[in-house]
Amino acid sequence: MILVTGGAGFIGANFVLDWLAHSDEPVVNLDKLTYAGNMQSLQSLDARSAHHFVRGDIGDRVLVESLLREHQPRAVVHFAAESHVDRSIHGPGDFIQTNVVGTFNLLESVRTYWSALAPEQAQAFRMLHVSTDEVYGSLQANDAPFTERHAYEPNSPYSASKAASDHLVRAWHHTYGLPVLTTNCSNNYGPYHFPEKLIPLVIHNALAGKPLPIYGDGLQVRDWLYVGDHCSAIRTVLANGRLGETYNVGGWNEKTNLDVVRAICAHLDAAKPKVSGSYADQISFVADRPGHDRRYAIDASKLSDELGWRPRETFETGIAKTIDWYLNHPQWVDNVTSGAYRDWVHQQYAAQAR
């Protein structure tokens, strides 16, 4: 079996669903269920005994070590993090606590477990750390995309905390021999995405008749990766990645934010036309994010050359799938935006301390 951290979040939930669609190998899913954790994303697994959910903090050494001893996973896939740049600007403390201190504690728990494994299991064991392209900082318009050798130049509290976690993971390999792999991916999008991030926020606001906020001039560039392609990249690196190596994962889909928002509006105009006008009429330019990185772009050729991975979706096919998913899952969106998804947490854990 494998242990996944943060498997109730956007990418983690997609990964757990994808994993169990591809294999019978069970998953222990450890998630603290912060505001970003949503058990409704995993509802389709209710009847599956191969999914074992545990509410808890990656920084809780007693809990994590007992889970590892009990379930004896052959791998840990580490998604759990505070992930939203804007939140990190308003309150960086949780980012340091989970992304840095939490990852440190997780590494120590995994090291304790791994050190006690029999040689054959210890050799087969892997810990895959999921990180971001934001650790590399910001590119100018004509710079080459980020390779794995690009210097770390994080600019936001979020990216600095992820950079710190990457360094810890690297050091635990170098110093203690822990068998780690790291992936640094670009901006993901797809189903089950919390509507605080650009793409789900714009889809939701467009349908709700609200303004579509564009920070600054909207000409910042991101390299969009469909979440299903990210899941297949993680499976590939986990299976065949070289120990201690880092693999960049990107969609080869650089777009300005304005182009992304216009593409969503055009798709919605066709799929669910307004009574009059276009969804693009709701675009509203707002104050820029402090320290806003201008451009991210990933060179994923190491992953494709070494391990044969390529994304299946173009931005056009991926965004069409994503918008269709949101149109077909209004209940999931309503529960997230109304906060009703939190009720499950209260019901389930009413008696427990939080």
Q: Say whether residue 182 binds ligand TYD (CB under 6 A).
A: no
Rounded Cα distance, 265 and 333, in Å: 18
CB of 154 to ligand NAD, least distance (A): 12
Q: Smallest gap, in angstroms, from Cβ of residue 292 to ligand TYD?
A: 6
> Distance (Å, rounded) from C-alpha 191 to C-alpha 341?
16
> Is residue 215 involved in binding ligand TYD (CB under 6 A)?
yes
Residues near 290 by Cβ (< 8 Å), separated by ≥ 6? 89
Please list every residue from 98 through 157 that binds ligand NAD, using CB under 6 A.
98, 102, 130, 132
Q: How far is residue 78's CA from residue 162's CA, in Å, rounded to a whole number?
A: 12
Closest CA to 261 of 321, 317, 197, 312: 197
Which residue from 71, 197, 321, 342 is in contact with ligand TYD, where contact means CB under 6 A?
197
SS3 state at 167: helix
Q: If DSSP codes are grouped into helix, strand and coil, which group holds residue 178?
A: coil
Binding to ligand TYD (CB under 6 A) within 36-95 occurs at 85
Interface with ligand TYD (CB under 6 A), residue from 101, 201, 280, 320: 201
Q: Out of 42, 214, 225, 231, which residue is the one contacting ligand TYD (CB under 6 A)?
A: 214
| Cβ(35)–Cβ(58) below 8 Å | no
Return the C-alpha torsion angle 94, 95, 97, 100, nearest 10: 180
255-259-265-269 Cα dihedral, nearest 10 degrees: -100
Distance in Å, CB of 257 to ligand TYD, minimum: 4
Q: Is 9 exposed, middle or buried, given 0-12, 13-18 or 19+ CB atoms closer than 10 A? A: buried
Judge whether 133 counts as a catalytic residue: yes
Q: Is residue 36 close enough to count as binding ligand NAD by CB under 6 A?
A: yes
**Helix (H, G, I), strand (E, B), or coil: what is residue 193?**
coil
Binding flag, residue 186, ligand TYD (CB under 6 A): no
| Minimum CB distance to ligand NAD, residue 57 (Å) | 4
Question: How near is the Cβ of 11 to ligand NAD at its closest, in Å?
Answer: 4
187 forms part of the interface with ligand TYD (CB under 6 A): yes
Please report, to the nearest 10 degrees, the dihedral formed by the alpha carbons of residues 325, 331, 335, 338 taken in order.
100
Stretch that binds ligand NAD, among 29-37, 42-50, 63-71, 288-296 (CB under 6 A): 29-37
> CA–CA separation, 220 vs 294, rounded Å?
5
Binding to ligand TYD by residue 220, rule CB under 6 A? yes
Out of 29, 40, 83, 109, which residue is the one contacting ligand NAD (CB under 6 A)? 83
What is the Cα–Cα distance from 233 to 184, expressed in whole angstroms? 11
Q: Is 32 helix (H, G, I), strand (E, B) or coil?
A: coil
35 binds ligand TYD (CB under 6 A): no
134 flagged as catalytic: yes
User: Is 152 one of the binding residues for ligand TYD (CB under 6 A)?
Assistant: no
Residue 301 main-chain phi, psi, to 5 deg: -70, -25
Task: List the single partner that 102 binds among ligand NAD, ligand TYD, none, CB under 5 to 8 Å by kind.
Answer: ligand NAD
Asked whether position 11 contacts ligand TYD by CB under 6 A, the answer is no
State yes or no: is 299 an active-site residue: no
- Residue 135 is a binding residue for ligand TYD (CB under 6 A): no
Per the residue annotation, which of 134, 223, 254, 313 is the catalytic one? 134
Of the ranges 208-216, 303-311, 317-325, 345-353, which one interacts with ligand TYD (CB under 6 A)?
Answer: 208-216
Question: Tokens standing for 13?
Answer: 């939930």
Residues pairing with 284 in the sheet? 213
Maximal CA-CA distance, the chain: 68
Which residues bind to ligand TYD, rule: CB under 6 A? 85, 187, 197-198, 201, 213-215, 220, 222, 257, 289
By CB under 6 A, name the binding residues for ligand NAD.
Answer: 5-6, 8-12, 31-34, 36-37, 57-59, 79-81, 83, 98, 102, 130, 132, 162, 185, 187-188, 194
Residues marked as catalytic:
133-134, 158
